[in-house]
Copies of this chain bind each other. A is one copy, B any other.
Amino acid sequence: MSASASSFSSVPAPPMRWDGWGDPDRETVLSDAMLGLIRDALGVRGDARSRHTPDDVVVPDCRLTDDDLAELTGIVGEDHVSRAPVDRLLRAAGRSTPDLLRRRATTQSAPDAVVVPGSTDEVAAVVAWCADADVAVVTYGGGTAVTGGLAPLAGGHRAVISLDMRRFDGLVDLDEVSRIAALGAGVTGPRAEELLAEHGLSLGHFPQSFRYATVGGFAVTRSSGQASAGYGRFDEMVVGLTLVTPRGVLRLGPVERSAAGPDLRQLVLGSEGTFGVVTEVSLRVHPVPEAVVAQAWRLPDFASGAAAVRTVARSDARPTVLRMSDEAETAVNLASPGAIGADGSPGGCLVITRFEGTERDCADRRARVADLLTEAGATDLGPEPAQAWAHGRFDAPYLRDALLAIGVGCETVETATTWSGVVSLRTAVSDALTTALGSDDGPFAASPAMVLCHISHTYATAASLYFTVVYRLDERDAVGQWEAAKEAASRAIVDHRATITHHHAIGTDHRAHLAAEIGDLGVQVLRAVKATLDPSGVMNPGKLIP
């Protein structure tokens, strides 16, 4: 069955480009300087390949019967179920580089139907039906997953549906005194800010996926945004959750802290749809900040820079945004996207800070951070580099699309470790990637690799490391080529007792490494929780739990 026939579509399409990032009408054109750099460094010619349209792709026949569809339609209504190939295809993948490379195939797997429920009760009925009917459920939010969480795996069940949460798009409840907002799981980042701004409030969660990703996705993947130093990780914002499981509804919260046994919210956070479907999330919100102050600095090198950032992260003057690029990333960051590859880096490591709050607080914290960084040897670069970063901060994935089109691989690896391990782990992961991609011992053609790194999330005892890798695709097996490099990076992470993922979740891609982190006994605990909430195993099989 061809995925063409868009006319069969009966539910709205996700808003994002089907085989790449973001706005389908937006094209990123690479500058001549950048093309030159890529030609020199990677030896690619720079000719862009043509893209498929969904019409070019064949998906397997739907394994659900007419009776199945009738029953699902009976729960959510006729307008909210589709087995049109195009609807299924559009929800068949997330946005990792392997996901996008797989979009080049002319035959692709896909969920057997798309179901778009409108209430917690409807989700409960759909999930109960699926458990009974031996049909797997992949919950779909913004489609921005990068570790395989959206792969349409039936996991031995007779079919798999995509449960699209787009209709959970409202502000369910607002307690202005307590500053708690209950949002539907399908609310996107911009929609959350829009709903809250009507009340002078803000959530403050700005991951790179902000424009498309949803509250439910943020929760089940333990997302962390660029302002995490100021407003916390998403899991720290959550005070309550509604989880619909095949065994019933679990409602947790909304009291922020308690000693009433283990904190079960922390089991739902990070559960990636494997225990059930999060339909509603109660979140700590704050007033829209009255002032924003941006400020950039340069530190001489990664090791001294990491030490300086550590001091700032632990201070009471902590910025709302605090990030530091290594030397290689600094060279790219300081240029505008059009000028990447041109000369313009001052060298060293770029530190971006941003302060949000009252005028007085921002000025005060900025001054105190300036003292700390100056003492650590920093040079003041003024606000411009920090403003430029803020301007382009959600756009990197567009650049990746342009690179992939000309045969350049571009993917990220992220982790976190204790402060004492930050420098050695950066070296180990960077070396692992460079060595793996540069080797011609294996089945893949050797490629030089550019590895950029930054620290973007800081804690009292730990920090994240985020690597961007640019290399020449081996078009014979581009997915396999990356998987080999990723495996090398993952081994370096595990060997350092760092976490396999700081904010991208486990999905399919990190699943083999979870036991190294939580032990076999930890895995057995997750399996026991799953068996209790999802005894038939229909909830997002093949993800998270080994």
A contacts, CB < 8 Å to B: 175, 177-180, 221-224, 233, 235, 239, 245, 247-252, 254-264, 266-272, 284, 286, 314, 316, 357, 361, 364-365, 416-421, 457, 459-462, 497-506, 510, 514, 517-522, 524-529, 531-533, 544-545
**Given A224-B259, A257-B224, A262-B271, residue A461 in contact with residue B179 (CB < 8 A):** yes
Q: How far is the CA of A517 from the CA of B248 in the complex (A)?
A: 16
> Known pairs A177-B419, A259-B506. 11 more at Cβ < 8 A?
A259-B499, A259-B504, A261-B545, A262-B267, A262-B526, A263-B266, A264-B525, A284-B460, A316-B316, A524-B532, A525-B533
Q: When the two chains form their complex, are residues A519 and B250 in contact, meaning their CB atoms are under 8 A apart?
A: yes
**Given A462-B255, A499-B255, residue A260 in contact with residue B531 (CB < 8 A):** no
Q: How far is the CA of A223 from the CA of B524 in the complex (A)?
A: 27
Q: A531 contacts which chain B residues (CB < 8 A)?
A: 528
* Cβ-neighbour of A180 out of B269, B461, B525 (below 8 A): B461
11 A-B residue contacts at CB 8 Å? A177-B419, A255-B418, A256-B459, A256-B460, A259-B270, A260-B270, A261-B271, A263-B266, A266-B266, A267-B525, A284-B461
* Cβ-neighbour of A259 out of B255, B286, B501, B527 (below 8 A): B501
* Cβ-neighbour of A499 out of B258, B460, B533, B545 (below 8 A): B258
* Cβ-neighbour of A420 out of B177, B249, B268, B417 (below 8 A): B177
**Given A233-B257, A261-B514, A270-B259, residue A250 in contact with residue B178 (CB < 8 A):** no
Q: How far is the CA of A254 from the CA of B518 in the complex (A)?
A: 11
Q: When the two chains form their complex, are residues B252 and A518 in contact, meaning their CB atoms are under 8 A apart?
A: yes
Q: Taking CB as reference atom, which chain B residue is nearest A520?
A: B248
Q: When the two chains form their complex, are residues B521 and A257 in contact, meaning their CB atoms are under 8 A apart?
A: no
User: Nearest Cβ distance between residue A203 and chain B, in whole angstroms?
Assistant: 13
Q: How far is the CA of A94 from the CA of B178 in the complex (A)?
A: 35
User: Nearest Cβ distance between residue A234 and chain B, in whole angstroms?
Assistant: 10
